[in-house]
């Protein structure tokens, strides 16, 4: 009988992990995480901003569902990739909590996956901000890996490539990119 493994073999990407996983993955599929939704709810003081001029990053908050990409972790480099993910998602800004949740892959399989949720007790947790403040932070944020605006645009572009619509995120990207204020819709 095969020994059961507690090691999750997938990681769910809903922001930059979609287009820049940072490791060679043997398989990538579109996937859905039920019970959580994508939200700009984290002040970024490292990757997309600084302590003096924070940007915003996405996190996962309870409720709804989230479409993104699932990357299968390479078996031969599993421990190295896990260390990399912990460094990337937890050690720098420190605003994510790693957990394992079931995700549904586009081929119909339901698999356990590493998922990085927003730590709602962390000092950089912004929660739901008014749209004007969200836009201000997205426009001002520049950090170690680029701007918050580029992060928004890349997320929208990659969701579009998957044929996924996130109307609220698309509207936010248009407003942030145009310099316009909050929309009246």
Instruction: Supply the pLDDT for residue 33.
Output: 98
Residue 181, pLDDT > 80, answer no
Burial class (CB in 10 A: 0-12, 13-18, 19+), 50: middle
Annotation marks residue 133 as catalytic: no
Provide the pLDDT confidence category of residue 66 given band limits of 50, 70 and 90: very high
CA pair distance 166, 156, nearest whole angstrom:
8
3-class secondary structure, 142:
strand
More confident residue, 178 or 85: 85
Helices (H), 34-161: 78-86, 131-140, 148-161
Instruction: Supply the pLDDT for residue 19.
Output: 87
Write the DSSP symbol of residue 66.
E
Provide the pLDDT confidence category of residue 36 given band limits of 50, 70 and 90: very high
pLDDT for 88-122, tens place per residue?
988 867 789 999 999 999 999 999 999 999 999 99
CA pair distance 113, 115, nearest whole angstrom:
6
3-class secondary structure, 97:
strand
pLDDT mean across residues, the chain = 90
Instruction: Give the active site residue among 52, 89, 133, 170.
Output: 89
């Amino acid at each position: 009988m095969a020994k059961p493994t507690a090691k999750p073999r997938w990681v769910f990407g809903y922001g930059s992990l979609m287009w820049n996983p940072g490791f060679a993955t043997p398989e990538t599929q579109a996937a859905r995480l039920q019970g959580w939704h994508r939200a700009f709810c984290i002040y970024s003081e490292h990757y997309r901003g600084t302590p003096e001029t924070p940007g915003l990053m996405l996190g996962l908050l309870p409720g709804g569902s989230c479409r993104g990409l699932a990357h299968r972790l390479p078996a031969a480099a599993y421990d190295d990739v896990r260390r990399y993910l912990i460094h990337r998602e937890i050690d720098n800004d420190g605003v994510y909590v790693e957990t394992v949740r079931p995700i549904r892959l586009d081929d119909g399989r339901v698999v356990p996956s590493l998922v990085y949720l927003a730590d709602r007790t962390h000092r950089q947790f912004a929660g739901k901000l008014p749209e004007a403040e969200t836009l201000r932070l997205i426009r001002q944020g520049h950090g170690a890996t680029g701007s918050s605006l580029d992060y928004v645009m890349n997320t929208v572009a990659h969701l579009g490539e998957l044929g996924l619509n996130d109307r609220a995120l698309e509207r936010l990207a248009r407003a942030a990119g145009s310099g316009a204020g909050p929309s009246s819709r």
